Amino acid sequence: YSNSLKKASFIMARTQKNKATSNHLGLLKARLAKMRRELITPKGGSGGGTGEGFDVAKTGDARIGFVGFPSVGKSTLLSNLAGVYSEVAAYEFTTLTTVPGVIRYKGAKIQLLDLPGIIEGAKDGKGRGRQVIAVARTCNLILIVLDVLKPLGHKKLIEHELEGFGIRLNKQPPNIGFKKKDKGGINFTVTCPQSELDGDAVKSILAEYKIHNADITLRSDSTADDLIDVVEGNRVYIPCIYVLNKIDQISIEELDIIYKVPHCVPISAHSRWNFDDLLEKMWDYLHLVRIYTKPKGQLPDYTSPVVLPTEHTAVEDFCLKIHKSLLKELKYALVWGASVKHNPQKVGKDHVMEDEDVIQLVKK
C-alpha cells in the first residue's frame, strides 16, 4: 500500500492544476483517502495479541492531549502543570506510553495526556505513531508542543501527520449535505457559486467510493477534500493550540513576533513562564459551561460546578450528567442567571442554560 500511496502522491504533485485536470486530481485525492483509511483500519483476520494498550480511561470534564516531536518539553509541561511525574531526560523518546495527569481549573476537572513523541511518517505507522494519533483523536483539545529554537517546518509536519489520520485542526465540518439512497442516480444541487467542484467532479469522486445513488447539496464553496471528508465520515474536528516552548532561550523581539501567530501561546515549561495565559486559552478553546447547584433552602454551591460542553447545556443534559434516573423524577427546575428573564424562573427540561447559571431541581 505504501508504494501505491507514494505513487499517487507523486502523480498529484506532478499534475498541473487547471480546470481540465481538476476532476482527475479529485479522483486521485479520493483514491489516496481510501488507501489511507485501509492502512489505518487493517482488514480483519486472526491477528496476534494487541500489544500494550496506549489509551487511558477518560476522566474529568474534558481531555487535552500533548502532541509533538520528541524532546520538545511535553513531559516537563505535564509535570509542572499537573504535578504528575512523567520521566524527563536529555535523550529522545523518554516517554514510551501515555502518561495522564489531572488539573482543576475554574471548578472543572481537566485530564491532560502526555503522549509519546511522534516522528515524520507516524500516520503510516512509523514509531508507534498510529497508536499515539488514535489517542489524540479522542481528545477535546490538542496542544501541539513545539520547540521555539527548531524550525517552524515542524508545525507543518505535525499538522500533516494528524490530517492524514482524519483529524482536522481548528476547522468546522464542511457545509455539505450527503445522503445515500437506493435508486435515482446522483442528485447534485448547489446553493452558492463553486470555484472547484462541478457535477462531473462530484460524480467521479463518488464513483471511486462505488456510490451511484445519492443526494449531494453544497451550501458553501467547497473543495474536493471537503467532499471526501464528508463521504469518508470518520473525520474529527478538534480545536488546537500551538504551544511554543523554551522561550527562556530567545530575545524579547523574537517573542513579540511569536505572539502574532494565531492559535499560539509562547511558554517556558522549565521556568513555568506564561502558564496562566496558556490555561486561560485552553479554557476558551474547550467551550465549557459551568452550572452551579442549589439545594432547597440553602446557598448555591460555588465550589464544585457541573461542567457541560457548550452544545449540550439543556436542563435535560444537566440531569443526565448527574444520573439518568433524575430525568424521570423531574417536575420542573428553578434557574437563576443569564439564561432567564427573571430570577428565579420556572423552566422545563428543554431550557438551555448559560455559563455560571444556578439551578435547583424540583422532583415530582
pLDDT digits (tens, 9 = 90+) for 287-329: 999 999 988 888 988 888 999 998 888 999 998 888 888 888 8
Q: What is the pTM of this model?
A: 0.78
CA-nearest of 328, 327, 304, 332 to 317 is 327
Tell me what pLDDT residue 96 has: 66
Tell me what pLDDT residue 122 has: 54
Quote the cell numbers at residue 219: 451550501
At residue 47, does pLDDT exceed 50?
no
At residue 337, does pLDDT exceed 60?
yes
Distance (Å, rounded) from C-alpha 51 to C-alpha 101?
23
Higher pLDDT, residue 345 or 20: 345
Higher pLDDT, residue 275 or 46: 275
pLDDT digits (tens, 9 = 90+) for 32-43: 788 777 766 655
Cα-Cα-Cα-Cα dihedral sign, residues 279, 282, 287, 293: negative
Tell me what pLDDT residue 42 has: 55
